[in-house]
């Protein structure tokens, strides 16, 4: 099939209507400039030349337009028309779509799609009513009180009530069940925030799945366009089952969970709610893809179900959150034994396929009925709050709800919110701690450390905000911000002062398996003009990393570029020897624990000497961390470790102070190594 000629394209571009030409299988062969502009303004590449428009319509659920075009292409209909709303956030807009047959020069047939703005034509009440009544979508309008002010015939048919029965009536009184469904939340959001909402929801009383779009109206009310999508839902899954069960795991969903808990409250019999959240799941999704993440959720659901047995209830709330209702609670001892059993579900790796397995842990929050309350939402909220407390305590444990946790939760939510914002504005900054050769009395390196002096919370300990950043996916943003801030200073120091000591950055285990992270990291080095040999990446000892081929490849890329890889806190982790054997390590940082034992514990001293000797034999650089006293420094020097870091050398310094003292050489003191 030949593309349209230049003359036809010129004519198309003169038209103000949005025009596209399709071949006989629905592929877009040509569009005019108006079509392209409309597509860009409405956020879509969905209408570009080369895409199959029928496929786009089918996947987006627009079966009405899909069927109209198909009938024209199949010569079942000479011409098709459809009027419909396409509102923007700022104005109400109405369009008409016309589909006509089209013949190409090579004799093949297709269709021409004309998309025309008819807003002006329907401004009058009479014209608007005609359009609304001829729509295939159901439509109604609510005033700011939630009362029906208009509904078309299609809406009356679907809602099983005439306009006479509904006009002037409050939607929540006429359809009270909808208050507990997504309709209420979304309509209120549209009404109050003046934003468009789009969603799908099952309405219990009508036994119907709806696809809904709600728009804010200028008079303070809302306009709602909706359609019955039972047929589509039935084609995908059993209608009733998936109204009450999670589509992915097959477990009861949030609606079913709420009904089950309420039924237990109505009994009434004591029970416990266990709110379960998987630690680090977001990073698995980000690094291994949603397909692997979905498989993990399925297997977690199945394993939990098998572990608790049929006498207790388990459901999936959404995402990586599950909820267990333990019935017939007698004592806290019984709950704790049960919770330990649940945690034991995560003791073994979860095998996804022949090449992939995950070791994952969970945080569990517990609320008790009737001890903590007798209302469904309160009990759920309390269990959720306790879960966050368990996560704050580094997860893989369970925590009972206590009222004082609300303060801790509020603190966490503030940190989460501000991690998503402007980090510098919120008080996050970096300090530098020198590493010195105590024999040569020279600066050999510097470690970058994160600090946060929050405008409301004050100083936030690094482990606290770094853990939250990891759990909520902000660690990449935080690390990239650190690189940019430090590289900017390094560029100045190198160009103006010939600064050569290596600068080390801590990289979280989650980022080590991200190829995109390292690609961006290398790009930043090139953009700022920082030699790779001036950079050191510190990694910690984590069991899962020794089996991660992606992390290994990324670290090999670093070594090939001249970046030094060091093992932080060496000697106290899970896989010390595995790191030295398997990973491209060039430096070992001895954990502060061993330094603190100098002249305190002879066995620890023996281990310290062995680490120094082993590292030297393997050709690795060695730095002792946390050196605070002259006795510790002397011991290290006597045993062949001359590179140290700690308060004996200097405290972590603000960047401007570090520059004056160690880069410009102003008022630099010497270390007494005698």
Q: What is the pLDDT of residue 530?
A: 96
Q: What is the pLDDT of residue 127?
A: 44
CA 83, CA 129: separation in Å to the nearest integer?
12
Q: Could you give phi then psi for residue 326, rounded to 5 degrees? A: -95, 115
Q: Does residue 482 contact residue 508 with C-beta atoms inside 8 Å?
A: no
Q: Give the C-alpha distances (Å, rounded to integers) separating 315 from 45, 180, 295.
A: 38, 18, 16
Q: Could you give phi then psi for residue 429, rounded to 5 degrees? A: -145, 180
DSSP structural state of residue 371: T
Statement to judge: residues 529 and 499 lie in one domain: yes
Does 672 reside within a domain?
no
CATH at 392: 3.30.70.270
Quickly tell me which residue has 């970058």 as its tokens.
448
Domain span including residue 514: 419-663
Neighbours of 270 (CB within 10 A): 16
Quickly tell me which residue has 């620890």 as its tokens.
604
Q: What is the pLDDT of residue 457?
A: 93
Q: What is the per-residue burial (b if ≥16 Cβ within 10 Å, else e) of 553-571?
A: ebbebbbeeebbbbbbbbb
Q: Which of 403, 436, 456 is the last residue of a domain?
A: 403
Statement to judge: residues 250 and 278 lie in one domain: yes
Does 551 reside within a domain?
yes
Q: What is the pLDDT of residue 89?
A: 54
Statement to judge: residues 278 and 146 lie in one domain: no
Q: Which of 355, 370, 403 is the last residue of a domain?
A: 403
Statement to judge: residues 398 and 376 lie in one domain: yes
Statement to judge: residues 510 and 580 lie in one domain: yes
- CA–centroid distance for 457 within its chain: 25
CA 577, CA 571: separation in Å to the nearest integer?
9
CA 598, CA 611: separation in Å to the nearest integer?
14
Q: Which of 235, 263, 283 is the last residue of a domain?
A: 235
CA 318, CA 323: separation in Å to the nearest integer?
10
- pLDDT < 50: residue spans in the chain: 1, 124-131, 133-134, 543-544, 546-547, 574-575, 668-674
Statement to judge: residues 155 and 211 lie in one domain: yes
Q: What is the pLDDT of residue 672?
A: 42
Reported as a single tens digit per residue, the pLDDT across 207-259 is 888 989 888 887 788 989 898 888 877 766 665 677 788 888 999 999 899 99
Kindly report whether the global pTM for this prediction surpasses the value 0.85: no
Q: What is the pLDDT of residue 125?
A: 46
Q: What is the pLDDT of residue 309?
A: 87
Statement to judge: residues 50 and 180 lie in one domain: no
Number of domains in the chain: 4
CATH at 461: 3.20.20.450
Q: Does residue 182 contact residue 217 with C-beta atoms inside 8 Å?
A: no
Residue 340 host element (H or E): helix 332-343
Q: Does residue 449 contact residue 259 with C-beta atoms inside 8 Å?
A: no
CA 539, CA 419: separation in Å to the nearest integer?
23
Cα–Cα nearest to 547, from 576, 574, 578? 578
Does 669 reside within a domain?
no
- The stretches of 23-109 forming alpha helices (DSSP H) are 33-41, 53-59, 63-73
Counting Cα atoms < 13 Å in the Cβ hemisphere of 136 gives: 13
Does 673 reside within a domain?
no
Counting Cα atoms < 13 Å in the Cβ hemisphere of 36 gives: 11
Statement to judge: residues 568 and 446 lie in one domain: yes
Does 413 reside within a domain?
no
Q: Give the C-alpha distances (Å, rounded to integers) separating 573 from 171, 392, 400, 540, 579.
A: 60, 21, 30, 8, 10
Q: What is the pLDDT of residue 458?
A: 94
CA 504, CA 220: separation in Å to the nearest integer?
56
Does 58 reside within a domain?
yes
Q: What is the pLDDT of residue 497?
A: 94
CA 430, CA 335: separation in Å to the nearest integer?
44
Statement to judge: residues 62 and 198 lie in one domain: no
DSSP structural state of residue 147: B
CATH at 36: 3.30.450.20
Statement to judge: residues 199 and 280 lie in one domain: no
Quickly tell me which residue has 């140290």 as its tokens.
644
- The stretches of 62-112 forming alpha helices (DSSP H) are 63-73
- The stretches of 15-152 forming alpha helices (DSSP H) are 33-41, 53-59, 63-73, 125-134
Statement to judge: residues 399 and 437 lie in one domain: no
Q: Give the C-alpha distances (Å, rounded to integers) separating 106 from 24, 30, 379, 568.
A: 13, 15, 70, 70
CA 304, CA 251: separation in Å to the nearest integer?
11
Quickly tell me which residue has 């570009």 as its tokens.
48
Q: What is the pLDDT of residue 418?
A: 94
Statement to judge: residues 154 and 275 lie in one domain: no
Does 408 reside within a domain?
no
Does 362 reside within a domain?
yes
Say if residue 645 is exposed, middle or buried (CB neighbours under 10 Å; 0-12, 13-18, 19+).
Answer: buried
């Amino acid at each position: 099939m030949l593309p349209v000629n230049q003359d036809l394209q010129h004519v198309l571009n003169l038209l103000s209507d949005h025009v596209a030409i399709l071949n006989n299988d629905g592929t877009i062969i040509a569009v005019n400039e108006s079509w392209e502009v409309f597509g860009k303004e409405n956020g879509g590449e969905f209408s570009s030349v080369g895409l199959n428009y029928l496929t786009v319509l089918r996947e987006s659920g627009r079966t009405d337009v899909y069927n109209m075009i198909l009938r024209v292409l199949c010569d079942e209909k000479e011409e098709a028309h459809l009027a419909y709303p396409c509102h923007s956030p700022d104005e109400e807009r109405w369009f008409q779509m016309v589909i006509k047959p089209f013949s190409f020069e090579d004799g093949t047939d297709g269709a021409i799609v004309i998309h025309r703005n008819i807003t002006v034509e329907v401004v009058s009440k009479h014209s608007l009513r005609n359009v609304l009544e001829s729509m295939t979508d159901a439509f109604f309008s609510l005033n700011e009180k939630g009362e029906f002010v208009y509904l078309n015939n299609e809406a009356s048919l679907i809602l099983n009530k005439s306009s006479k029965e509904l006009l002037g009536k409050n939607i929540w009184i006429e359809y009270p069940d909808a208050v507990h469904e997504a309709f209420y939340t979304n309509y209120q959001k549209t009404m109050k925030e003046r934003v468009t909402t789009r969603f799908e929801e099952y309405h219990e009383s009508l036994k119907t799945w709806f696809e809904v779009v709600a728009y804010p109206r200028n008079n303070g009310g809302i306009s709602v366009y909706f359609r019955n999508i039972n047929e589509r839902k039935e084609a995908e899954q059993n209608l009733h089952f998936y109204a009450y069960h999670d589509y992915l795991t097959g477990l009861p969903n949030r609606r079913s969970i709420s009904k089950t808990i309420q039924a237990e409250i109505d009994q009434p019999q004591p029970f416990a709610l266990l709110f379960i959240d998987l630690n680090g799941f977001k990073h698995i999704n980000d690094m291994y893809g949603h397909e692997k993440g979905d498989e993990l959720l399925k297997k977690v659901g199945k394993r939990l179900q098998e572990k608790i047995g049929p006498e207790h209830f388990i459901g999936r709330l959404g995402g990586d959150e599950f909820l267990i209702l333990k019935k017939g609670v007698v004592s806290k001892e019984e709950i704790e034994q049960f919770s330990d059993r649940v945690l034991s579900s995560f003791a073994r790796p979860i095998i996804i396929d022949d090449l992939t397995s995950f070791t994952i842990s969970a945080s569990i929050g517990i609320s008790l009925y009737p001890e903590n309350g007798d209302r469904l939402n309160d009990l759920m909220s309390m269990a959720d709050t306790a879960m966050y407390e368990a996560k704050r305590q580094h997860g893989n444990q369970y925590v009972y709800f206590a009222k004082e946790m609300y303060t801790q939760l509020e603190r966490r939510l503030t940190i989460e919110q501000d991690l998503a914002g402007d980090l510098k504005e919120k008080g996050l900054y970096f300090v530098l701690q020198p590493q010195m050769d105590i024999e040569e009395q020279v600066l050999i390196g510097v470690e970058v450390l994160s600090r946060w002096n929050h405008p409301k919370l004050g100083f936030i300990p690094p482990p606290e905000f770094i853990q939250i950043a990891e759990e909520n996916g902000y660690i990449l943003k935080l690390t990239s911000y650190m690189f940019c801030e430090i590289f900017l200073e390094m560029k100045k120091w190198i160009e103006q002062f010939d600064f050569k000591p290596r600068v080390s950055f801590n990289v979280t285990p989650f980022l080590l398996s991200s190829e995109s992270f390292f690609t961006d990291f290398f790009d930043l080095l090139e953009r700022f003009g920082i030699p790779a040999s001036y950079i050191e990446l510190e990694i910690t000892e984590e069991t899962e990393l020794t089996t991660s081929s992606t992390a290994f490849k990324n670290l090999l890329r670093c070594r090939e570029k001249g970046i030094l890889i060091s093992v932080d806190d060496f000697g106290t982790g899970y896989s010390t020897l595995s790191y030295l054997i398997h990973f491209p390590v060039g430096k070992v940082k001895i954990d502060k624990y061993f330094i603190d034992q100098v002249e305190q514990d002879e066995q620890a001293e023996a281990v310290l000497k062995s680490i120094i000797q082993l590292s030297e034999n393997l050709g690795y650089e060695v730095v002792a961390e946390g050196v605070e006293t002259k006795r510790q420094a002397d011991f290290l020097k006597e045993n062949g470790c001359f590179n140290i870091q700690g308060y004996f050398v200097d405290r972590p310094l603000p960047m401007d102070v570090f520059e004056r003292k160690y880069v410009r050489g102003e008022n630099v003191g010497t270390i007494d190594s005698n």
